[in-house]
Chain A
Amino acid sequence: MLRREFPLAITCVVGLFMVIGLFVPERHFTAGRTEVESWAIIIRAFAAVLGVANIGRISYLRISRREHEWVYHVPLLIGLVGMIVLGVGGSLGSAPLFGIAEGTFFNDLYMNVYVPMQGTMFALLAFFIASAAFRAFRVRSFEAGLLALAALLVMLGRVPIGAEIWDQLPLISDWIMNIPNNAAKRAILIGAALGAIATGLKVILGLERNYLGGE
């Protein structure tokens, strides 16, 4: 019983406290709320540590059992452990070998390995978008036609060459972004906010229990 009811009670009390603390500007509530927010930061930090430990454990098991594509986990583990040691191993030595400031080995690896690799991954998107535009973007219905027309106008209106082709294109693009786009986005935002309030209430009242795990 404690495994279910105790976490539910904690969630209810903390949830109500945070909601009331937002609307009641009384100093005890404010101080308590601030304290709980600090706990939240600490708990989130522990979650990050847990995530790193989990990646390390899974990678180690895959390598030791020679599971499918285990070889990719070797550079992952080396990178993970290596960057942690170089970054936080200040007590092992001083810069440039240890530490995270500019000029350190950590920063050089970040700037010369991590930045180009991640940049390359995202740059590939431009090529795949062009390929998908040619092969998959088909105007099969009236709605798809509207979508295609809006996309073409915004794509042209948002870049300098659009104004060179027709000086009204940027204005049309602005209108699409500010009126129809805004109307749809507002509807989505308001809907999502109402959904978040409903979910929040369900969590506080103990009606929504998925976060406790699959029991």
Chain B
Amino acid sequence: MSLSNRLVNLDRRYIFFVILIVIIIPYIRPLGLPIRVSREAEGFFSAIEKVPAGGTVLLAADYDPGSMPELQPMTLAALDLCFRRNVKVVGFCLWPAGPPLLNRALSQVAPRYGKEYGVDYVNLGFKEGQEAVMVRVGSALPEVFPADYNGTPVSTLPIMQDVENFSSVHLLISISAGYPGTKEWVQQVGQRFQNANREMLPIVSGCTAVSAPEYYAYVNAGQLDGLLGGLAGAAEIEKLAGVTGTATRGMDGQSLAHLIIIAFIVLGNLLYFLGGRRKK
């Protein structure tokens, strides 16, 4: 059997092994590749920067553990940016498996800035209802979430005393892994509700890499003020926030993995054309 035939019929476990190696090596020996910040990530950062100190943001953590490596670093960086500017965070989830991840992110970042649960931030947990919940939050958030994730009535939480609906907050941060997520927030809420500044409620999104291409249309139309796409987007916001998290560390591995996948595509096609030419 010729070398090209052997390569065409290569056991896929060798390919898996190569991927494993190129992902692991940068974790052991980081390459320290510089991270470039995109216009969309700058928009995300600026939208949070524009929220006045003491203001409130809604954080919709619409994802589950499957998307955690891409999206949790975005949540952490967004919380970091909010808390350091004394911006209050009201978090909730439209994905049933989301609340514990939001809880973990809040309990990871809040102590760094001495923030207190119920005063500076709250996790309202999960609510079934998808788009209906999004729209209802616009009219009466405490009616949709009468209690927080731990079952504490929101009427007893100081942070919720001034939060009635979208007109009580300054920004909506949607960290989204799919449906329901950013697309539905833009369609149901964007350009429809006013925020605390009597402007149309600004929305920024952090999403998985696979959904990012769809949301560029919303960024260019001004319906999203900023966009973070995948691990690269997470690394960009970490850079802007001045934190080195798992996304920044993961970008070296992702860089090498992309290079290897490109090499596989080129090699696979080379062998395909060589094989075809030989047949002719």
A-side residues, CB < 8 A to B, are 34, 37-38, 40-41, 44-45, 47-48, 90, 99-102, 107, 110-111, 114-115, 118-119, 121-123, 126-127, 129-131, 133-139, 148, 151-152, 155-156, 158-164, 170, 174, 177-178, 181-182, 185-186, 189
Of the residues A111, A174, A185, contact of B213 by C-beta under 8 Å: A185
A183 to chain B, nearest CB (A): 9
Having A155-B262, A160-B251, one finds 13 other A-B pairs with CB under 8 Å, namely A34-B136, A38-B136, A40-B132, A102-B104, A115-B68, A126-B19, A126-B23, A127-B19, A156-B259, A160-B34, A160-B252, A162-B255, A185-B216
**In the assembly, what is the distance between CA of A1 and CA of B36, in Å?**
64
Interface pairs (10), CB distance under 8 Å: A38-B143, A40-B129, A101-B149, A102-B100, A111-B104, A138-B272, A159-B232, A159-B258, A174-B38, A185-B216
The chain A residue sitting closest to B64, CB to CB, is A118
Q: A41-B129, A138-B268 are in contact. Are A156 and B260 (CB under 8 A)?
A: no
Which residues of B63-106 are within 8 A (CB) of A? 64-69, 96-97, 99-101, 103-104
Point out the residues of chain A lying under 8 angstroms from B261, CB to CB. Answer: 129-130, 133, 155
B256 at the interface (CB under 8 A from A): yes
CB pair A160–B132 under 8 Å, yes or no, is no
B162 at the interface (CB under 8 A from A): no
Interface size class of B (residues with CB under 8 A): 35 or more
CB pair A160–B255 under 8 Å, yes or no, is yes
A45 to chain B, nearest CB (A): 4
CB pair A134–B258 under 8 Å, yes or no, is no
Point out the residues of chain A lying under 8 angstroms from B149, CB to CB. Answer: 100-101
Q: A107-B100, A133-B261 are in contact. Are A44 and B132 (CB under 8 A)?
A: yes
CB pair B65–A118 under 8 Å, yes or no, is yes
**In the assembly, what is the distance between CA of A181 and CA of B40, in Å?**
15
CB pair A115–B34 under 8 Å, yes or no, is no
Point out the residues of chain B lying under 8 angstroms from A101, CB to CB. Answer: 103, 149-150
Which residues of B121-164 are within 8 A (CB) of A? 127-130, 132-133, 135-136, 139-140, 143-144, 149-151
B244 to chain A, nearest CB (A): 14
Of the residues B150, B214, B255, B268, contact of A133 by C-beta under 8 Å: B268
Of the residues A37, A100, A163, A164, contact of B132 by C-beta under 8 Å: A37
B1 at the interface (CB under 8 A from A): no
CB pair A130–B258 under 8 Å, yes or no, is no
CB pair A158–B232 under 8 Å, yes or no, is yes
CB pair B135–A37 under 8 Å, yes or no, is yes
A15 to chain B, nearest CB (A): 14
**In the assembly, what is the distance between CA of A137 and CA of B262, in Å?**
10
B243 to chain A, nearest CB (A): 17
CB pair A119–B213 under 8 Å, yes or no, is no
Task: Return the CB mask of B203-239 against A: 1 if under 8 Å, else 0.
Answer: 0000001001110110010000000011010000000
A64 to chain B, nearest CB (A): 28
CB pair B262–A156 under 8 Å, yes or no, is yes
B254 at the interface (CB under 8 A from A): yes
Point out the residues of chain A lying under 8 angstroms from B140, CB to CB. Answer: 34
